[in-house]
Structure 1
């Protein structure tokens, strides 16, 4: 009787461990100056671990979140474009980063 109970508990644990947790959002706001228009804008939702578009590209960025941000120049977030630490700012040159990932 104990073996089936233990097996069921182990299976339930493995199922819950395999389910990915929802992405945590960086607390705060990520501001940037668009490379194409020069206007300051911001990203509203900044979940960790997700490759997010930075419309217009970033000439400068102010990461006023509690999480570091890595900037990229491609949509798969593999071509490094810069780094903006938590509560820090950075300036970029062409090719301007057009994507960001927090965490």
Structure 2
């Protein structure tokens, strides 16, 4: 009899775990708001389009100044893998940068 009592418990636990994992992997979202920067190569202000969390996004031309007017903190980097010398830029903050200019941003 004990074997039959443990089967429903295992099934419920397994089902709950699967539902939780599906929920976690299906909830990626973009930072709400805008991120814009002044390009180091042209001096023009540029608006970054989609800002998904957890993806290393190119900041074309490098940034001499950036404004993170989103609801999510950001880190700016000088390499495409978003691993070198992170520069923190909090939600609703601006900052100025000197060479080497950040060329990638990661939200979240």
Shorter-chain TM-score tier: 0.7 to 0.9
Larger Cα Rg: Structure 1 or Structure 2? Answer: 2
Residue in 2 aligned with 1:6?
9
> Superposition RMSD on alpha carbons, in Å?
1.6
Which whole-Å CA distance do the structure 2 matches of 1:49 and 1:18 have between them? Answer: 17
Of Structure 1 and Structure 2, the greater helix share is in 2
Gapped runs of 5+ residues in structure 2?
none
CA contact (8 A) 1:73 1:97 kept: yes
TM-score by length of 2: 0.83
Q: CA deviation at 1:11?
A: 1.4
Aligned residues: 103
2:33 is aligned with 1:28 = yes
After superposition, residues 57-96 of structure 1 pair within 5 angstroms as 57-96=62-101
